[in-house]
Structure 1
Amino acid sequence: MDEFTPCNLNYLPENILLDVLSYLSVRELVRAGRVCKRWRRLVRDQRLWRLVDLTAWKGMTSRILWALLRQYLGCGLRCLRLRGLLLSVRGGTFLSEAWLKALSTKCPRLSRLYLLHADLRSLPSCQLLPPSLKVLELRGCELPQDFFNQDLPTSSEEGAEATSSAKQKGSSGRSAPSGISIECLILNNVPSFKDQHLQSLTSWQRLSRLELCDTFRVTASGLRTCAAKDGACGVEGLFRLKYLEISITTRQGYQLQMASLGLGAGWLGLEELSLGGKEVGPGLLCASRLKDLKRLYLKACTLSEMQIVRSCRMLRGLSGLHRLEFLDVVFQPRLCPPEGRGGGEEEQEGEEEPAGGDTVNSESKPDELIPNLRRSLAILLPCCTLAFSNCSVQSNAD
């Protein structure tokens, strides 16, 4: 028999090698580029640098960021995930204005930016971020006071250019277009985000999705001020917003006024609403004022069956509502009165509610609660699709 010749990675075609290298992390890719000239050329292929996750790289510094940007990151970059030094012992400035400008120039197709534990107080405005961004996600970050204000110049030269261009626009009678192209803004556990930041978002011309998760300083009055409503000059506020999420899930003993109560004044054009945690209860009471609402999501909360049925009665006036979804919801069954005490007012209340045929049987077992609740909601909202994902029933203690 003929002897088999030894085979190594050099015999594989480049498309197979690129598939193998795509399973490596960024740090492993950099190390693989030091093997030989061929691997160095393959590692710099932009197909490997479309989705870059640097959150797992321990010891990340601004010097490493500059090296990655000069040697590897390029026009193929679509999504970038970074971990800042806010919780690090070393501290220091992580993202500089010069690096962000270089990122905008070298990566013109970057559409999603995720920042984790980043201290952004050294940046005067979000206008320094790449203009190609469509999605901006901030988690556990610190923000300056005017970070979302797009009217502030980022430097003296840019300020002079902005004033001159504004004069030219004013003389021609046309309004200046928005410089921020972000369509989706996700804020998760950002303690410094407050009503003033929310008010700054009203000047964004393309913002259609806003997620406020564990933003404790946003109040009902602040949300009511930014809601889309008819004003003297037409529709005012966040009138381009189609999706809004408000959730408080992590903080214990949260006693401030719920932000979702600001929905009671109505919101023009809002089609999707997601409520989570402690914002579900007050948000359900105000959801009936959202005349354009089409989809409602309730998640990560505990609800009683009577609370759901009574709230859904108020939603019957929303003709456009066609989807109601429960996600990670714990349902509390109705408490039955002890024996010998059920002859008074409780019995009469139980007789009044089933008159419409849209309540849940009080004697249903825990395993029958969700099917009974589904049937009751189907009667209340016949044109609405109901979905229950990862839901459970709380068992009553004896």
Structure 2
Amino acid sequence: MDVFSTYNLDYLPENILIDVLSYLSVRELVKAGRVCKKWRRLVKDQKLWRLVDLTTWRGMTSRILWVLLRQYLGCGLRCLRLEGLLLSVRGGTFVSEAWLKALSAKCPRLSKLYLLHADLRSLPSCQLLPPSLKVLELQGCELPLGFFNQHPPPSSQGNAPATSSVQQKERSRDAPSGISIECLILKNVPSFKDQHLQSLTSWERLSRLELCDTFRVTANGLRGCAAKKGVCGMEGLFRLKYLGMSFTARQGYQRPMASSGLGSGWLGLQELSLGGKEVLPGLLYASRLKDLKRLSLKACTLGEKQIVHNCKKLRDLHRLEFLDVVFQPQLCPPEGEDGGEGERQEEEETAGGDNGSNESKPDQLIQNLSRSLAVLLPCCTLSFSNCSVQTNPD
């Protein structure tokens, strides 16, 4: 025991110490760097600063952000999560233009940025974000009207010959985009409107778009951005492969469903995810998406007839997913019109017993629905996750 009492953390290899420090939060890492010079050097290792979550740091200020950026964040940063001050008593904003420029210069490999409750109205454009970004998620943020606008590159207008609008569109399509974001996720962003959606048509690398509780987006706005063939070729969000739409507002809130804008079709769209109140109108027009291969329905209530009637038109579908879906069974026919149904039900009850039949009814309904869809869509893979059946109080 005397021999082991002489050993301390200095005898451990540095890679082991870095692995131990990786279990600490950002705030605890900063405190650990004040222990000694060796620990300060270990804390600054970029392996510890690849995935940085600052949403758990209460009392975050602009000064702390600058200290973290100057002393700790560097070329190893890949993912950054940051919470703003919209819901704070202090208010204000600290995601400034100067800080974003310094972040771009100091962290050239940053690919994912998650902003929560951030006030971005002081930023003129999203082009101030790091150019290395591939994924941008905004949740509960405030945006200016022209935030997603992509400014064209400056061109000399002195002796330049006049060009037609067709030639300008062709040049802008061939020229590389200044925004490299491939995935844009918007959750509960009330300031996101049809104008913002229209601005995304100039993003040449955008392939995945998720809109959750963006209640200012209308069916006309979505219809105007749908990929279609125009005079100069493809127009709209023709590079978009995945579109996710969900609306989970309170009961009784009525508005035009944005997913009904899919009725005009959408060329090139391969994956569609619908949730909440966007499921029924979106499912009604899903058959008009000629390139659709994968459909996901979640957080909604659907009847058996609705599913079978709308899904039988999706012959080319490869995968159909149900997540947190409540299925409504078909209403029983009036007395005297069920024919052999009643006899078959009595046989099942006598075969399985009362308790067993009651417990198996939800599973049996899902199994019957799965069989029906398997017949209608023989090349489609079905998935049911956390689904249930609505039971009548009778």
- TM-score between both structures, scaled by the size of structure 2: 0.89
Task: Look up the SS of the partner of 2:177 in the other structure.
Answer: coil
Overall identity of the aligned pairs, in %: 81
Give the letter for the 1:36 counterpart.
Answer: C
Give the letter for the 1:93 counterpart.
Answer: T
Residue equivalent to 1:47: 47
CA distance, structure 1, for counterparts of residue 55 and residue 162 of structure 2: 45
For residues 244-323 of structure 1, the aligned pairs below 5 Å read: 244-316=243-315, 319=316, 321-323=317-319
Shift of 1:252: 3.1
CA distance, structure 1, for counterparts of residue 109 and residue 224 of structure 2: 35
Q: 1:52 to 1:169 in 2, by over 3 A?
A: farther
Residue equivalent to 1:327: 323
Matched, 1:377 2:369: no
Gaps in structure 1 of 5+ consecutive residues: 153-160, 345-363
Task: Look up the SS of the partner of 2:275 in the other structure.
Answer: strand
Shift of 1:315: 1.8
For residues 186-265 of structure 1, the aligned pairs below 5 Å read: 186-265=185-264
C-alpha contact (below 8 Å) 2:135/2:183 kept by paired residues: yes
CA distance, structure 1, for counterparts of residue 100 and residue 128 of structure 2: 7
Shift of 1:150: 1.0
CA distance, structure 1, for counterparts of residue 223 and residue 186 of structure 2: 19
C-alpha contact (below 8 Å) 1:249/1:276 kept by paired residues: yes
Matched, 1:394 2:386: no
C-alpha contact (below 8 Å) 1:333/1:366 kept by paired residues: no
Shift of 1:167: 9.3
Q: 1:384 to 1:168 in 2, by over 3 A?
A: farther
- TM-score between both structures, scaled by the size of structure 1: 0.88
Q: 1:41 to 1:379 in 2, by over 3 A?
A: same
Shift of 1:6: 2.5
Shift of 1:3: 4.6
For residues 38-60 of structure 1, the C-alpha deviation after alignment (integer angstroms, 9 at most, x for no partner) is 00000000000000000010000
C-alpha contact (below 8 Å) 2:362/2:388 kept by paired residues: no
Matched, 1:62 2:62: yes
Give the letter for the 2:198 counterpart.
Answer: Q
For residues 4-23 of structure 1, the aligned pairs below 5 Å read: 4-23=4-23
Residue equivalent to 1:73: 73
Q: 1:138 to 1:167 in 2, by over 3 A?
A: farther
Q: 1:39 to 1:216 in 2, by over 3 A?
A: same
Q: 1:306 to 1:6 in 2, by over 3 A?
A: same
Give the letter for the 2:325 counterpart.
Answer: V
For residues 112-131 of structure 1, the aligned pairs below 5 Å read: 112-131=112-131
RMSD (Å), alpha carbons? 2.4
Task: Look up the SS of the partner of 2:243 in the other structure.
Answer: strand
C-alpha contact (below 8 Å) 2:21/2:48 kept by paired residues: yes
C-alpha contact (below 8 Å) 2:93/2:118 kept by paired residues: no
CA distance, structure 2, for counterparts of residue 167 and residue 243 of structure 1: 43
C-alpha contact (below 8 Å) 1:115/1:141 kept by paired residues: yes
Residue equivalent to 1:179: 178
Give the letter for the 2:91 counterpart.
Answer: G
Q: 1:208 to 1:4 in 2, by over 3 A?
A: closer
Shift of 1:109: 0.2
Shift of 1:240: 0.2
C-alpha contact (below 8 Å) 1:275/1:297 kept by paired residues: yes
C-alpha contact (below 8 Å) 2:201/2:237 kept by paired residues: yes
Aligned residues: 368
Q: 1:120 to 1:252 in 2, by over 3 A?
A: farther
Residue equivalent to 1:24: 24
Residue equivalent to 1:162: 154
